[in-house]
Amino acid sequence: MTLSIRWKVALGTLLAITLGLAAAGWLAFRSIEKLELAHAEEKLAARTGLTALTLQPLLTRPDTPPIRLQAMAHELSRHASARVTVIDQQGRVLADSDVPDDAVSKIENHVSRPEVAGALSTGHGTDLRWSETTGQRLFYLAQRVTFPGSRTVHVVRLAMPLTTLETRIREFQRALAIAFGVAFLVSVTLSLLIARGLTRPLSDIATVARQLAGGALRQRIQTRSKDEVGVLAATLNQMADQMDRDITALRRLEQVRKDFVANVSHELRTPLTSIKGYVEALLDGAKDNPEEATRFLQIILNQSDRLNLILEDLLQLSQIESGLVRFKRDPVSLSALVERTLPFIKPLMDKKRQSLTVMVSPDLPPVSGDEDRLVQVLTNLLDNAVKYTPEGGTIHIAGQPTNDPAQVELSVADTGIGIPEADRPRVFERFYRVDKARSREMGGTGLGLSIVRHIVEGHTGKIWVEGNQPSGSRFVIHLPVVSEAAGPTQTSLDIPA
Ligand code: ADP
């Protein structure tokens, strides 16, 4: 099992706190004991000094009877609240307040007791031990006593049981332990709370990230923090937005593809059904009637041409859309473009007795583009203008500058049936026709303007259609002019269609 980040943070904090408290506690315990002992020593040293001073007259006199010394030791012990022992230079105990008078002479030699040895050699000695004589834990303090004019050396020793001191220390330590226990509990609670506060946004993020990964792309992380966690949450949210958008776009594309397949099938089925119908009629006997047979065969031929036309347009469109076709970037003059295109269209216009006007501004800079493709653009537009303008109408081609010096405008206007405003943006979609029957009757595939738009946009240009005054439509194209920096002869790879 892996530990959640919350527990990791909480346990880490706790460990640090516990170690800190333990170290502080140990130091406090130790220093209390030391302090108390130092204090006790100070007190005991003062009393020992006073005791020695009081004993001075007895000790300097060589004939003092031991019983007198012993009585004095008792007396002083009462005043000093401590055991009083008098020892001579050889370590013999001369008097001891805690020992019955007749037993003093039987006490073993004290010369090797640490405090006595200390006092004899340095003048001062202490020790802390269990007394063999009284069976208590005692704090001993011994002082060497010499007196001016006398060569005798004595040691006066005071001893105090440490029971009160120890109870005090223990009480103090108990209070300390309670304080540390409380501090520990508080820090456990705090570290748990802090760990939760710190890690909750992270676990929220983890939860939402899991949901996002599971496909719930509408999920978002709620966070107000501005720190790294906040940044992480915002980034994840952004990613989710992006994914959501991408998926929406993908779905739309998928829909477009489905529509396209349906449209193409429909467009192809119409001529095929017609061909099949006439072939069946021929097989059923029409072939024996030469006149009827010729008429039917002519229809079949027309429908086959139409199929061919649709397939050609589709092929071209898919090539342009696939992005595989790169357009040349040659300098193309608009007047040359018009001149190259008109021969294809002029016969159709003449047939419908339509008149044509062309107006290209004289010193218009050349556009940067693929001449063959641009001829195709103009051909499609003019072809439509002829198709959707009745006999005797007028078609007008214009080339002129725009407000942007980097762009020029090419437009084709007619006095034909026009396009209702609502349909205008849609006529550039594949297979979109304002009047299906009429378009088909004119031999249209519904793909011409899609191809036009793709070529124009492939040139980083723009195309739209507006109403023409007083009637008809006006198709407007903006194309980039050759930029000075790029030079006039720049070309790019052209994949043949
Ligand atoms: P089609 O092969 O049907 O002409 P297009 O893509 O070239 O296909 O044009 C799409 C539709 O836009 C046409 O069916 C027609 O309804 C409309 N349209 C195009 N050009 C004109 C125009 N000059 N006048 C009126 N309608 C037009």
pLDDT, one tens digit per residue, over 233-285 is 889 889 889 988 888 899 888 988 888 888 888 888 988 999 999 999 999 98
Domain boundary among 293, 319, 345: 319
Both 81 and 24 in one domain: the answer is yes
Show the tokens assigned to 374: 């641009």
Mean pLDDT value of segment 319-334:
88
What is the distance in A from the centroid of ligand 1 to the CA of 436? Answer: 10
Q: Coil, strand, or helix at residue 89?
A: coil
User: Can you tell me the distance from the alpha carbon of 338 to that of 375, in angstroms, rounded to the nearest whole number?
Assistant: 8
Over residues 189-194, mean pLDDT: 88
Residue 487 clears pLDDT 60, i.e. is over it: no
> Is residue 206 a part of any domain in this protein?
no
Let me know whether 416 and 280 are in one domain. no
Check if 465 has its Cβ closer than 6 Å to any atom of ligand 1: no
93 and 22, same structural domain?
Answer: yes
268/237 same-domain check = yes
Q: Which of 305, 386, 388, 395 to mutate to test the pocket of ligand 1 (most atoms within 8 A of CB)?
A: 388
Same-domain status, 303 and 399 = no
Determine the pLDDT at residue 34. Answer: 87
φ, ψ of residue 126 in degrees (nearest 5): -130, 160
Token duo for residue 460: 């980083």
Domain holding 298: CATH number? 1.10.287.130
Indicate whether 295 belongs to any domain.
yes
Tell me the CA–centroid distance for residue 379 and ligand 1, in Å.
13
Check whether 342 has a pLDDT greater than 90. yes
| Domain span including residue 381 | 326-492
How many A from CA of 427 to the centre of ligand 1? 7
Question: Domain boundary at 319, 353, 382, which?
Answer: 319
Mean pLDDT of 68-80: 94
Q: Is the CB of 412 under 6 A from ligand 1?
A: no
Q: Residue 454 C-alpha to ligand 1 middle, in angstroms?
A: 16
**pLDDT, mean over the chain:** 89
Indicate the angle between helix axes 290-322 and 448-458, nearest 10 degrees: 20
Residues 41 and 109 in one domain: yes
pLDDT at 164 over 80: no
218, part of any domain: no
* Among candidate residues 168, 201, 217, the one where a domain is terminated: 168
* 79 and 106 assigned to the same domain: yes
Determine the Cα–Cα distance for residues 150 and 153; give it in Å rounded to an integer.
Answer: 8
Structure tokens at 101: 């008078």
Q: Are strands 83-88 and 462-467 parallel, antiparallel or unpaired?
A: unpaired
* Six token digits for residue 18: 């516990």
Question: In the structure, what pLDDT confidence band is assigned to residue 7 with cuts at 50, 70 and 90?
Answer: confident
Residues 123, 272 within the same domain: no
Alpha carbon distance 88, 110 (integer Å): 9
Does residue 197 belong to any structural domain of this protein? no
Q: What integer pLDDT is reported at residue 23 of this predicted model?
A: 92
pLDDT of the residue at 497: 41
Mean pLDDT computed over 316-330: 85
- Looking at residue 1, what is its pLDDT? 57
* pLDDT given for residue 260 in this prediction: 84
pLDDT tens digits along 114-137:
999 999 999 999 998 887 777 778
Is 333 in the same domain as 475?
A: yes
Judgement on whether residues 466 and 418 belong to the same structural domain of the protein: yes
353 and 239 belong to one structural domain: no
Q: Please say whether the beta carbons of 220 and 54 come within 8 A.
A: no
The DSSP 8-state label assigned to residue 325 in this structure reads P
Do 120 and 67 have their domain in common? yes
